[in-house]
Amino acid sequence: MSDDVLALWPLAPVSEADWLAELAQDDGLTGYEVPGRPDAAWVLGGIYERGTSASDSVNNSQSRDEHPGPGWERLRWAQLADRLGDPVVPQGLYPCFRCFPSMKAGGIRPGSIEWPAEGSLDRPTWDQLIRFLTERSLQGADTACLAYYNPLVAQDFEKGHVRCGRLGDAASLFDNPDILYTPSNLWATDRSWIVCTDYDLWGSKVCGPRPMIGALLEDTEIEAIRLPWTS
């Protein structure tokens, strides 16, 4: 992590993340039902389609992803689902590699689709989400936040990884060279909202007040859907 980001997001006591255990349901981090935050939606990770003149993607699809590069266009999940005749997310699933079961029979040429990385939003989607949260948090860019990294993504089971900072500086968390994922959890210290990113999934769950989640579902840049609390 660069010195600039270290200064913006210093380490916080591991105990700051204790409340996460109180939220987890039987199905793990994806099952949060947060008292006082009665609604939730899933922000879907970026799917990109390769044009005929596109260069090879800059990504390795193993962690957080950049935009793939010139000639690649964002393909909304809803567009691909409509093309294939599949639901955006099949009943009983979360956003993951099991979505779009008709791909093999759908006439999509091999190598033309880049899927989201598991366990981390891509930079364009992360930046859009931080912009959205900043606009709808009472303190705006000055909203105090905490970021937690699951030991699976931190690759360190001996100590916790919790950092504190301003929401207005949260875009910089994408550039952590030590942990190549966006945070497993990002939340306002007043606990008015929380972002949950599971290690195996292609999206992040945002829990918060109904007006916030309603606005998230209607946002023209972010692609978000509402799923049942449990699968």
Q: Which residue blocks in 59-150 are alpha helix, DSSP H?
A: 77-84, 123-136
One-letter identity of residue 146: L
Closest CA to 21 of 184, 226, 203: 184
3-state secondary structure of 163: strand
- Compute the average pLDDT of residues 128-147: 97
- pLDDT tens-digit profile of 10-29? 999 989 988 887 776 533 44
Q: Count other C-beta atoms under 10 Å from residue 74's C-beta.
A: 16
- Residue 141: pLDDT band by 50, 70, 90 thresholds? very high
- Answer with the residue of higher pLDDT: 161 or 76: 76
Q: Which of 16, 206, 27, 18 is nearest to 128 (CA)?
A: 206
Give residue-wise pLDDT tens across range 77-118. 999 999 999 999 999 899 999 999 998 777 777 789 999 999
- Long-range (24+ apart) CB contacts under 8 A made by 209-217 are 209/37, 209/38, 209/39, 210/38, 210/39, 212/39, 212/136, 213/39, 213/40, 213/41, 214/39, 215/132, 215/136, 216/41, 216/43, 216/132, 217/41
How many other CB atoms sit within 10 Å of the CB of residue 69? 15
3-state class of 203 per DSSP? strand
Structure tokens of 181?
């994922």
Q: Distance (Å, rounded) from C-alpha 122 to C-alpha 120?
A: 6
Angle at Cα 216 formed by Cα 212 and Cα 38, nearest 5°?
45
pTM comes to 0.90
Joined together, the tokens standing for residue 4 give 């600039």
Q: Encoding tokens for residue 141?
A: 């860019």
Q: Are 81 and 88 in contact (CB under 8 A)?
A: yes
Structure confidence at residue 57 as a pLDDT band (50, 70, 90): very high
Query: What was the pLDDT predicted at 230?
Result: 45
64: burial class by Cβ within 10 Å (0-12, 13-18, 19+)? buried
